[in-house]
Amino acid sequence: MADGIFNKFKEWMGDNTIDMDGDTFKCALFTDASLPALTYQSYNVGGASVSLTNDKTEVSSGSGYTTGGVSMSTTWVESTGTVTFDSSPNAIWSSATFTARWAAIYSDSDANKGLVALIDFGASKSVTAGTFTIQWHASGIFTLT
């Protein structure tokens, strides 16, 4: 499950700035040991007041990573009163050599690249000439009940 939901996402989901059924979502990796506050609003500058790429260090492009992260195949499903946001397959970077500390999920369709969820690895994780995978929780990335 996500370690945090960005504050502005809650509003943007409610007013359909971020369309949970229609938007394309991405997962980007960052190296900075300090996590962003949940008050951050966007992946890039875009027009939002606080952005990750201004204040935090994304994993460098190359060696199996592309700036902006990987596209996700997301679902937004309701079952017996619980709504689940999930992605299948997991977020995967192949032939990778890099170190990442945390990840952010954001809407690539939104003009501001609005942030959705923060994933904290707990410590820096490295891969050398291998596959870096974020395996989503069996209960999804996050749920609303």
pLDDT of residue 15: 95
pLDDT of residue 96: 97
Q: What residues does each domain of the chain span? A: 4-144
DSSP letters for 15-66: TTSS-TTT--EEEEEE--SSPPPTT--BSS-BTBSSBHHHHS-BPPSBTTB-
Do the Cβ atoms of 96 and 3 come closer than 8 Å?
no
Rounded to whole angstroms, the Cα distance separating 33 from 40 reads 16
DSSP letters for 53-73: HHHS-BPPSBTTB-TT-EEE-
Q: What are phi and psi of 66, to 5 degrees?
A: -115, 130
Do the Cβ atoms of 136 and 66 come closer than 8 Å?
no
| Structure tokens that stand for 4 in this block | 């945090």
Rg (alpha carbons) of the chain, rounded to whole number: 14
* Residues β-bridged to residue 127: 98
Per residue in 59-72, pLDDT tens? 999 999 999 999 99
Q: What is the pLDDT along the chain (145 residues), one digit of tens a residue?
A: 789 999 999 999 999 999 999 999 999 999 987 888 899 999 985 555 568 877 888 999 999 999 999 999 999 999 999 999 999 999 999 999 999 999 999 999 998 899 999 999 999 999 999 999 999 999 999 999 8
- Number of CB atoms found within 10 A of residue 96's CB: 20
pTM passes above 0.85: yes
**Between the CA atoms of 83, 7, 2 and 88, what dihedral angle is there, to the nearest 10 degrees?**
60
